Structure 1
C-alpha cells in the first residue's frame, strides 16, 4: 500500500472510515483471511518477475535481526561493470515490498537494477521481512521500545556497514518519507555519513509542523497515541469470542451481541483498533493480535471492493495524487501494512506538535536521565557533510511533506541539494505513480550517475 511517514497510517484510518458501505461483517470471514510471507520477499515478489534476488540477515548493535534483499537484473551483466550499491529505505507501516508494488517498468526496485545498480532492499525492525531479535520475543514489551530514532542510528547504520563489507563500496541511499527521516537523522552522524556516496530523498521530511491535512491534525490533537488501551480489551474479546455479527448504526451506538458501546468509544474505535492492531500494545496477546490484523485487512478489502472510491478519501488526507493506480489497491493489500511501534507514532506526533526534528521526548525528568538535559537533543541538519551529494523530490499536493517544511529542511543543510519539484504530485505519487520513471526516477538516476558509477572505498 502507499507508503510514508504517516501516509500509510492515514490511508488505513481513512479506509476504516469507508466501512459504512458494509452493514454486516462476519467474524468468521475475517478469521479465514490470511496473507502468506513464506519464502521471503525474493520468492514472493522479485524472482517471479525474472530478477535475481538473494536474502540476507544482518544484526544491529542492539540485537535486532533485519532482513535485507539483494536484487540484480537479468538484462545487465553486473560482472562486466562496476555496479554501485543502492539501498532502498521504505516508509512507515511498510516493508521492502513497497518498492515492487507496480510493474517492472514502474517500480523503482526493478528500474534501478535494469540501469546497472546493485540494489539492496532494507526492512526495518518489526516488519514482516525482518527476523526478530537475538534474545527478545515479539511478545516482550522491550521488543517494541523504539522509534525512528533507533531506525536511523542502529538499523540504517547496520545496513550500510553490511553492504559496504559485501561490496567494498560506499552506498547510494534512496528513502521515501520515513526513510528520509531515518536518512537525514543518520547523516548528522559523521561515522554513518562516511558510508554514503550520495542520497536521493522522495517526499523528504525532517520537520512536520506545517502539514495541511486537517484529518491528521485532528488525530494529533486528540492525542490518540497516548490513549489507554485497557478499556478496549473486553470489546476485542467480545468481538472475537462472542459476536457473530457486527451491526454499525450511525445513531451513536454500536451493538455487539448484548453489549452496548458508548458514543465516544464508537468515534474512537477505528483509530484505536488501528493503533492496537499495528503497534502491538503489550496488553493484547498475540493470538488476539493475529485476528485483529486479519480483521483490519478484511475491513479495508471490503470497504474498497467497489463500495466507495477510497482513493478520493486518501487524497483528502495525504494530498491529491495525480498518478496513483487505485486499481491495484487489492494487490497492495496483500503485503501492506507492516507492524511498527507505538513509540514510533508518538515520536512522529511529537514532531507535529512541537515543530522539532529531535530525539524522542520522554519528559523533562527522564530526558535528564536519558540525555543529560531536560529537552531532547535536536538532530542538527547543519552537521550533514557539505560534500555529501543530495537529491530531493517533493510535490505541491503533498499534504504531509509540506512545501514549507521541505524549504525549512533545505535552509538548514550546508549543501545545496538538487531539488525536483512536481506541482501536481501528492505523497503517494513519489512511490506509486504510473509516470514515476518519466517524472522523477530518470532524473534521480542521472543524478546518481553524475556522482560516479564506479565503486569508491
Structure 2
C-alpha cells in the first residue's frame, strides 16, 4: 500500500478483528474509500463455537507456548494429536468446519472434501493467544504482554482497548451477518453497530453460518448483489 500513497481503496474482508482495529487508527482509515465486512467480529462475549470454547477452556494457547510451537496447523503431526485430544468424546469433529464456525446452511456438500483441503487454515500461536485473551476477558484490545510488558510497550499495565467510536463517521461501512454464526454472534454484531458513530448498511440472513457468506451456493443473490450495489454508490467503482 505504501507504493500507492495517493490511492484510496475499497475493502472487502472476513478478517474483521484486524479491520475494525485498523479503522480506529487515522493513518490506516484514511486510505480506505469504503469497507464491506463479512461476519464482523470485535467482542466475543457470546461466541458459541464448541471447538473454540473447548480450546479456550483447556488453555490451548498456553500449551502451544509451553511446547515452543509458533503455529497451530491441524495438518501437522502435532496438530493432529491436539485435534484428537480436543475432539475425543466431547464433540463430533467429523464435521470440523461446523464445530468451529457453526452450522452452514448452503454449501454444495459434494464439494466438502475440497473445502476441507484448505480449512481450517494454520494460525500463529500469538494470534490464538490474542484471540483467547479477548474471549476470556470480554475485551476488544491490543495484545496483553503482562503488566511489565504492557508498561514497556503501551505505558499502561493493561493493554489499550480499541474504541469503535474512533472509526470516522465519514467511512461508509457495509456489514453482513448470520443467525447461525458461532463466531460472530448476532448479539455481538449488534454491539459493534451500537459502538459505531455511523450507521452501516446491514445484510442479515437468519439461516447463514460463518462460512456461508463466502461459500454459499446462494451467496451471489443473498450477499454479493447487495455488496456490489453498495460499492457502486461510490464514484470510483462505478467509473470502471
Class of the TM-score when normalised by the shorter of the 2 chains: 0.7 to 0.9
Displacement after TM superposition at 1:335 (Å) = 4.2
1:342 aligns with 2:125: yes
1:165-208 C-alpha deviation (Å, 9 max, x unpaired) = 5xx531000011xx111111111111111100000000001111
Report the more deviating stretch, 179-188 or 317-326.
Answer: 317-326
* Residue among 29, 36, 41 paired with 1:205: 41
Find the counterpart in structure 2 of residue 375 from structure 1.
158
What is the aligned partner in structure 2 of residue 224 from structure 1? Answer: 60
Give the ranges of 4+ consecutive aligned residues of structure 1 lying more than 6 Å apart after TM superposition. Answer: none
In the superposition, relative to structure 1, how do residues 346 and 171 fare at CA in structure 2: closer, same or farther (>3 Å)?
same
Q: C-alpha separation between the residues in 2 aligned to 1:352 and 1:230? A: 20
Contact kept, 8 Å, 2:139 with 2:161, in 1: the verdict is: yes
List aligned pairs for 1:356-395, cutoff 5 A: 356-395=139-178
Instruction: Determine the C-alpha separation between the residues in 1 that align with 2:75 and 2:180.
Output: 36
Q: Secondary structure at the match of 1:315?
A: helix
Q: Which residue matches 1:114? A: none
Alpha-carbon distance in structure 1 between the residues aligned to 2:210 and 2:76: 30
Deviation at 1:390, TM superposition (A): 0.1
Are 2:8 and 1:215 aligned?
no
SS in 1 for 2:33: strand
Q: Structure 1 residues 291 and 181, CA, compared in 2 at 3 Å: closer, same or farther?
A: closer
2:70·2:126 contact (CA, 8 Å) conserved in 1?
Answer: no
- What per-residue deviation string (whole Å, max 9, x for no partner) do you get for residues 25-72 of structure 1? xxxxxxxxxxxxxxxxxxxxxxxxxxxxxxxxxxxxxxxxxxxxxxxx
- CA shift, 1:324, in A, is 1.8
How far the C-alpha of 1:338 sits from its partner, in A, is 4.3
> Per-residue deviation at 1:212?
1.7
SS at match of 2:236: coil
Secondary structure at the residue paired with 2:11? Answer: strand
| Residue segments in structure 1 that go unaligned for 5+ positions in a row | 1-159, 234-275, 281-288, 301-307
Corresponding residue for residue 169 of structure 1? 7
Aligned length: 230
User: What is the SS of the residue equivalent to 1:439?
Assistant: helix
* CA–CA separation in structure 1 for the residues paired with 2:197 and 2:171: 10
Counterpart residue number, 1:292: 77
Aligned to 1:279: 72
Describe the superposition over 1:425-454 as per-residue Cα deviations: whole angstroms up to 9, x where unpaired. 001101111111010011000000012235
Secondary structure, aligned partner of 1:421 = strand
Cα pair 1:277 1:292 within 8 Å, conserved = no
What is the TM-score when the length of structure 2 is the normalising length?
A: 0.84
Report the CA distance between 1:325 and its aligned residue.
Answer: 2.4
Check the 8 A contact 1:278/1:338 in 2, yes or no: no
Q: Does 1:310 align with 2:94?
A: yes
Equivalent residue for 1:326, pick from 77, 87, 109: 109
| CA distance in structure 2 between the partners assigned to 1:184 and 1:230 by the alignment | 30
Note the C-alpha offset of 1:279: 3.4
Structure 2 gaps, min length 5: 85-91
**In structure 1, distance between residues paired with 2:2 and 2:70:** 33
Q: Tell me how far 1:334 sits from its aligned partner.
A: 4.2
Q: Deviations over 1:102-144 (max 9, x none)?
A: xxxxxxxxxxxxxxxxxxxxxxxxxxxxxxxxxxxxxxxxxxx
Aligned to 1:181: 17
Change beyond 3 A, Cα 1:291–1:427: closer
Rounded to whole Å, the distance in 2 between the matches of 1:290 and 1:433 is: 25
Aligned-pair CA distance for 1:399: 1.1
Displacement of 1:340: 2.9
Deviation at 1:315, TM superposition (A): 2.7
Residue 184 of structure 2 corresponds to which residue in structure 1?
A: 401
Which range moves more in the overlay, 206-215 or 179-188?
206-215
| Maintained 8 Å contact 1:279/1:342 | yes
